Amino acid sequence: MVKIIKLFANQHPYLAYIALIVTASLIGITVEWLINRDFVNNIWGALMMIIIGIIGIYYKQKKKS
């Protein structure tokens, strides 16, 4: 299973990063809802994490080639 995830991440780094952020956000929202029975709609924090991560992936790929 780990090999499949690594292969997917190597072939589609942007999509793998977005899937990671979405999964982490869903887990965070679930925990927040279970503890407080509500969640703060903090879309800006998630959006900034996605933008910073995608910029990092872009420069990493640019450095490889």
Could you give the C-alpha distances from 45 to 15, 25, 31, 57, in angstroms and in order? 19, 10, 17, 18
Q: pTM, whole model, 2 decimals?
A: 0.64
Residue by residue, pLDDT tens for the chain (65 residues) are 889 888 988 899 888 888 888 888 888 778 877 887 776 666 677 778 778 888 888 888 888 76
What is the number of structural domains in the chain? 1
Give pLDDT, residue 43. Answer: 67
Range of the domain at 22: 2-64
Give pLDDT, residue 39. Answer: 65
Positive or negative torsion for Cα 10, 14, 17, 23 = negative
Element (H, E) at 23: helix 13-36
Cβ atoms of residues 10 and 18 within 8 Å: no
